[in-house]
Amino acid sequence: EDQLSHLRQYEKSIVNYKPKIDQLEGDHQLIQEALIFDNKHTNYTMEHIRVGWEQLLTTIARTINEIENQILTRDAKGISQDQMNEFRASFNHFDRKRNGMMDPDDFRACLISMGYDLGEVEFARIMTLVDPNNTGVVTFQAFIDFMTRETAETDTAEQVMASFKILASDKTYITVDELRRELPPEQAEYCISRMTKYIGSDAAPGALDYISFSSALYGESDL
């Protein structure tokens, strides 16, 4: 949360710099109209400055979004901040290309470093969990989903389904309004973003399928 707060403050300060960018754009236009095309005082063009400012904003927004997703995942899965930090440190260490993804060899090395005894068959099974679409990479979100399934010790899919059934007043589906009314905001939005539409004949408008969601959360399906 502290890192997120600092990034938002940084983002705000960069956005507040836009009037200066606009002023530079105006000055640049006047210089162009005066037929002055070379500036011996700088190697930067107006395009360099504008694109650099836009790229900085985009990078910060992407980082904020990633951290927000990590916080939602941490809270929804009951991971402590220390655990999340450990997972992130392990992932970053084996993300050798520094592109936010691990290839299968790096992922295998990561698992071995964490004490997994991996044969070819077992590793192939794990890869179907973390890369069901055969993209050839393991994202941080997939890594977290796998690790939390592996370390879960108490809750089961059946227990989670039973909890949702209570929230849904014994219905086989749950609504967005019920989730937002009964759960903390972060957990509610996480569930809403991950649950699929309920397609039973008794479905109400906006009904969500908490049964498939609960099963997928604990590795029993490929949601």
CA distance 212 to 205: 18
Angle formed at CA 71 by CA 127 and CA 155, multiple of 5 degrees: 65
User: What is the number of other CB atoms lying within 10 angstroms of the CB of residue 210?
Assistant: 26
Burial of 97 (0-12, 13-18, 19+ CB in 10 A): exposed
CA dist list (Å): 196 to 16, 56, 86: 39, 35, 30
pLDDT digits (tens), the chain, 223 positions? 677 888 889 889 999 989 999 998 998 888 888 887 787 777 888 888 989 999 999 999 888 887 787 777 777 767 777 788 888 888 999 999 988 899 999 999 888 887 777 778 788 888 998 998 999 999 988 998 888 876 654 456 677 788 888 889 889 999 999 998 888 787 788 889 889 999 988 888 889 999 988 877 655 444 4
Whether 91 and 31 have beta carbons less than 8 Å apart is answered as no
Whether 73 and 144 have beta carbons less than 8 Å apart is answered as yes
CA distance 209 to 211: 6
H helix intervals, the chain: 2-15, 18-33, 46-77, 81-94, 104-113, 120-130, 140-151, 157-167, 176-182, 185-194, 210-217
Whether 191 and 213 have beta carbons less than 8 Å apart is answered as yes
Q: What pLDDT was estimated at residue 152?
A: 55
Q: What pLDDT was estimated at residue 172?
A: 92
Q: What pLDDT was estimated at residue 167?
A: 87
Q: What pLDDT was estimated at residue 176?
A: 92
Q: What pLDDT was estimated at residue 106?
A: 93
Q: What pLDDT was estimated at residue 105?
A: 92
Residues paired with 196 in a beta bridge: 209
Write down the pTM of the prediction: 0.45
